[in-house]
Structure 1
Amino acid sequence: MIRSSLRFRLIVLLVLVVVAAQVATLAMVRIATERSVAAQLQAELQVGERVWRRFHAAREDQLLSSAMVLADDFGFRAAVASNDAATQISALRNHAGRLGADAAMLFRPDGAWQAGFAPESESAQAEALAPLLNRAEELGYASGVLILGGHAHLTVVLPVMAPEQIAWVAIAVSFGDAYAGEFRALTGLDASFARVEGGKLRLYGSSLAGAARADLGSLLAPAVVADGGVRRLEVGREETFLLAEPMAESGSDMLVVLQGSLERAMAPFDALERRILLLSALATGLAIAVAVLLGRGIVRPVAKLAEAAQRIAAGDYTQPVVVEGRDELAGLGHALEQMQAGIAAREARIVYQANHDGLTGLPNRACARAELDALVRTQGGQAAVLMLDLDRFKEINDTLGHGFGDKVLHEVGRRLSDAVRGDDLVARLGGDEFMVLLRDADPDQARRRARQLLEELRRPLELPDARMSLDASLGVAVYPLHGRDAQTLLRRADIALYDAKEAKAGVALYTEGRDELHLRQLTLMGDLRGAIAEGQLSIRYQPKIDLGRNRVGHVEALLRWQHPRLGAVPPDEFIPLAERSGVIRDLTRYVLDGAVAQNARWSADGLEIGLAVNLSAMDLMDDGLPDMVVGCLRRHRVPATRLILEITESALMRDVDYAVRMLHRLRAIGVRLSIDDFGTGYSSLAQLKRMPVDELKIDKSFVVQLREDSDDAVIVRSTIDLGHNMGLSVIAEGVEHPSGLALLRRYRCDMAQGYLFSPPLDGGALLEWCRKFEGVEA
């Protein structure tokens, strides 16, 4: 009995020792594991903080690259330069729609709001964007997180250059729960975006839900961001590690709060503890050895996992995470390896997407600009930049749909890539605009290869939906002949592209001096709209002499522009620019109203005289033109019969049917109609007889050097006979020599106009000239 009691006591003692050892072992394992997991979790938070910065920076770069496409778009820059508000807001909405952006705004260079849309008023937009605009003034661009409409937005600001800065453009994308969810999917860590308001955290977005989200939002700010390190708090009834960091690079007071739950991190180790208990019950004698083995089996994998976490935190994704075994730690190691591979793949994909076009797979504008910058830094010989733009691509989108247009762009990108050499670069800059970078190409080679590319594109496209032909225009600039930096080469290639489109030549090489002309045109187009309000425009009047009665028949109103810096700008230069920029209608209204008012003043001074005013092709297409003319005549109480509207022959030939209908509407008002510059528009007799006109005005190119027995004389005499046979009056402009006037009298021309009689005069001077002329002739 004593032996049995001793054995029992020994067994009990041994069992108690083993149990105590196992309990102690379990306690130690639990404590060590919790400490290790806590350290690992803190390390993961540190890693997550670095991953967050890269993730956020990549998102900012992607948004910045997308905004650059809009800022560099030629049509958008032209709309901003010409202050075309409708085109500006359309471009902003279209580009924002493609990006999924919530706001797109345009600001003047001084920071004043100009156009756009956002969940805030215009003044609130300008106030919210002011810090970013100030930083963009210093750095050339800026990005940051702003509060618009009570929500956080990732916002970028870029200058719009043409080539000088003409505006700021801002694009804003919502910055909330979805963004935090993407980061959680990437790293496995919860993220929240908050700002300290009233001593507490106000959440603007979070991957947390329910009680955890509410608890985090109710925390006092010092409890989270007191020392800037990792904090251990209870959030949503779970022990949680938090790391709060300011978004300093965003220039705002927003915080990113990363969270990792200790309970979730410890979950894989609960099963390990049960296994230790089972092994202890089955083999008490091996408990100590098993405990030692298990301890060794725990410490080594954890050390490997911590080492792997540190490598990942440092940005090294090359080494695999190897943890032997099949237990939870091995599973955790496998999960960490998958996370490492996922982070590396996502970073590679982000970098690729930031530098390539999503539709064609070609390098995008940012990548092409970087390649061009690298080339001009290292290129020893010559290279060429080709800017390519598809002709009438908008018609393809409008008639066949954007889906078909995307297929066309994809096929164009493929053909260009197949047609260039291996070391050349093909990039899509946006829309239907492509860039080709040719290495080792002189001007002749660049022009020849550009024509080869054009011929390749002109081959019929065999698409599943249709078979069609394309045409394009290419502008060529050669390094270093046409520029030694990327910006100059791109701008001059773009100018050459415009020249190719204007001349319908297919391919155009940059011509020296066109850059200055281009800049002058941009300046004039930008200043033209304000020229009326600033009093830079004036109206001059040139008399037309009735050759049969030797009297002043009527006068022609001529617009003149005295630019404050460029001096006198000839009408032949600024009228086409006005037509291209859409300002021509404002100029026509200005001339018509001013000239009719002057005619009323002449009438009050006793001079009853007809008045001729020129109309452009765009004016003729304006359905409201007749009402505008009637309103002007009524406003100044001038009879319609005194007004002669001169329309150039080339304008009438653009759309003959519509022009005839418009001429009949104008004729119904009672005004007279004249075909200006007759002989240069290639109109036929069949078209001419349909038009309800009163006069033909012979172009001055046939009159200035008029001599008997010359080709000009034959044309002038034939035109006069043609007009008379059709019952029309004939006027010759550009009369500068008495010999030419004598021939016009002999040919029975009705009226003559030119410097032989008088240069264009202002209203008062013309009144005096007419009185003197009438007095002399009388």
Structure 2
Amino acid sequence: MRFRSLEGRIATLFLVLIVVVQVLGLFVIQQGIDANARASIGTELANGEKVLRKLIEQNAQKQRFSAQVLARDTAFVQAIGNDVGGDHATIESALVNSGRRARADLTMLIDGERAVMVASGMAKSNALELLVAGLLDQAEQNDGAGAIAVVDKRPFQIVVMPVKAPITIAWVVMGFAIDRQMAIDMKELSALEVAILTRAAGGRWQPVEATLAPALMAGVAQALPAAPPKSAFDLEIDGSKFSARLVSIGADGGGPGAHVMLARSIDLATAQYTSLERTLIVLTVLGIIVAAVASVLTAKRIAQPLRDLAATALQLERGDYRGQIDVGRDDEVGALAKAFGSMRDGIAKREQEIGRLAYWDTLTDLPNRARFVMLLNEALEAARAGGGALFVLMMDLDRFKHVNDVMGHNFGDALLRQVALRLHQQVLGSHPAARVARLGGDEFAVLLPGVDLAGARRLAAEILRALELPLSLEDQTVDIGAGLGIAGFPAHAADAEALLSMAEVAMYCAKQRNDGAVVYDALIDKASEKNLSLLTELRKGIERDEFRLHVQPKLSLDTGRVVGIESLVRWCHPERGNVFPDDFIPFAEQTGFIRVLTRWVLEQSAALCRDMALRGIHLKVSVNLSTRDLLDQELPEKIMDILRRHQVAPGSFCLEITESAIMDDPVRAQQTLERLHALGLDLSIDDFGTGYSSLAYLKRLPVNELKIDKSFVLNMENDAGDTKIVRSTIDLGHNMGLRVVAEGIESEAVWRLLAALGCDQGQGYFMSRAIPGEQLADWIGQWRAPAALEPA
């Protein structure tokens, strides 16, 4: 079980939580035990102090009674009263005997003059005499008094009792040592350790008696603080911990004197909890072990199904949907497993559907292009391994676009299904190992393994004959045909894409020739390679700025003044030199690259127009639009963006459109032209007279200019028919309010003839060939019209 795994993390989390909880529990319990023990010890010490004082008081009462018995003894009183001669022997004897009976450690008789008459059991002590002197009045008033005094560094309980006859004639004093017996009695009553200590004025403690061992008693005096604490305190003696309390019981003169230390061993106080703590520790360890086992088992119970699901997910990743998922559990993991199983089934169904959509044509239920390529690759591997050959037949239906346009797309789809069925039956009837596929649109392909070229030709001829038979759909009979190309391995190519490409080249060649199936030949493909190379070079030409803007001036035929220019493009190829438009413009129109070229010409023309305006030369710039340009619905916005950036007015531009461009899609062309006209741009019909049905649309188009094709202008000086056509076109344009421009003027005679016919403007080699745009200003400065046309 790894820590970074889910199972390891779950088990570790449980263990950490349990250990933390158990350790915290032990800590809290130990703290509680210690707090309870100390509270209990504190209570015991407080009660012990009370017991001590009660014991001292009881001893004092007992001792006062003994002294009282002596003080009231008649013989003793008489002896004191008769003691005139100072013979104290009788008195001393009586005092000593009474003291012995009372177990007093010292006795004393104070006479009426408050002087010591007799004393026994003690040496002279000034401190004791001072203490007794202070108790005499109290004893007389209260019929006895008591106190504790330190005599010879030992504490004594002193009792003073007056002797009256009937007045006070003396005082009996008895002293009882506070000894070990009192400490033992105190321990028996309170279960506390007791130590009786005296303290000299210098603050040094002197042990007197104690219930502690003598070895510990020496350490008590050293461990006690110099200033007696007022509350309980901890005391450590030879490694043993005690909680102690000092009780003051007497004084030596005016300074600190006798104290009793009450102590309770902390270790003994907590000993009763030790077994409980050990039990708790054992239970904690057992709990941790049990919890560890339970957490591991729980983690495995949680993680094992997840590992199983992960293994199933890996199977799903490999595309294996056969694994069984255990869904017997009723918890969340079981719900996850059920959801996982549902997801697996859903993915399997969707993948099956995606695979069908990805590799099968939904219309004809034939393999599509992607599936056909897979089948072709498999067949190529088999052919390489066995040294065999295979052929690919690709066909494209004839006139299918016309069927769609006339009959509708639903009819076209039904036609494709009929063609697919006929192909499938025809091919599989003679070649069971062959595969038929629809590549897209109206293109079909046949994979023909294990045959030679003659066999491929025979099947191709059978397919074409089968397709020539009319198809009946929805009470309509449709005649179709197809162009069919053939390419094979290893004769033509060694990989699938190349084979398909070569079969397609042969197919388009067959559609152009219209004379049956065509087998691929490298000569056929040269034009295609040239075109591909040309498209790549065109793109690089734009990126490398290889194109140049040339212009041909347009002049007013009646004044000879330059009024406009037509923008033309030239290609300065780094290897081919100057490439003329006829060599690349048609190809650009076929591939759609013409839109890029048109945008480039518009940009350069707008820049030239702005530069000429800054020089004071205001010209109308004409730019040719192709069919693809005209069908671009965003063309007006693109042109206006260019004009705004170069700060050129829309009226400075004239867009020339050929009749064929309009006729390809008249509706969309008219919509685009109307939007361009609304922006203020002039529109011109270029090459007028060479198209078809243009007059039907001319009256509806928002044009400003007609441009007569040069084929009518070049020879009009010698051809009366051309002159009539030009005259009619000029009249037509003027009658419709249009400006008429003639192109192809190559002589002064044609110029003058056009001017006589009323043509407005003209352009041609007679005035100027196309020149670089940067030379336009110089050419205008040098231009001179024929003398008869020069303005006054």
TM range (shorter): 0.3 to 0.5
| TM-score of the superposed pair, with normalisation by structure 2 | 0.46
| TM-score of the superposed pair, with normalisation by structure 1 | 0.47
